[in-house]
């Protein structure tokens, strides 16, 4: 009989927790998760844009330096951008 009461209690308790999870009484509901995912995606997109802008600037500088070097203006060393220029 004690075993049956324990099983009934555990079943009731698990259903109660499941009910709270599914109806949003606890913080782990779908709306909260979707908002969190949207914020993270926005942050990641902004970081990627910044990284792409930096890469474009570095490539442009490297190509400008390469063009200056080809024109005979060898005032600077070009070792820092050798890995970017084919």
Residue 11 predicted with pLDDT over 60: yes
Average pLDDT, the chain: 74
- Give, as one character, the DSSP assignment of residue 80: G
d(CA 69, CA 82): 12
Query: Which residues are CB-contacts of 20 (< 8 A; sequence separation ≥ 6)?
Result: 26
| Cα-based angle 77, 78, 84 (whole degrees, multiple of 5) | 170
User: What is the average pLDDT across 42-59?
Assistant: 90
pLDDT of the residue at 83: 55
Which residue in this structure is represented by tokens 């606890």?
26
The pLDDT value recorded for residue 66 is: 79
């Amino acid at each position: 009989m004690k075993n049956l009461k324990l099983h009934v209690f555990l079943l009731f308790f698990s259903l109660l927790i499941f009910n709270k999870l599914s109806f949003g009484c606890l913080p782990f509901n779908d709306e909260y998760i979707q908002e969190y995912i949207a914020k993270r995606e926005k942050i990641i997109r902004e970081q990627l844009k910044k990284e792409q802008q930096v890469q474009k600037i570095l490539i442009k500088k490297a190509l400008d330096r390469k063009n200056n070097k080809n024109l005979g203006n060898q005032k600077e060393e070009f070792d820092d951008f050798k890995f970017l220029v084919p």
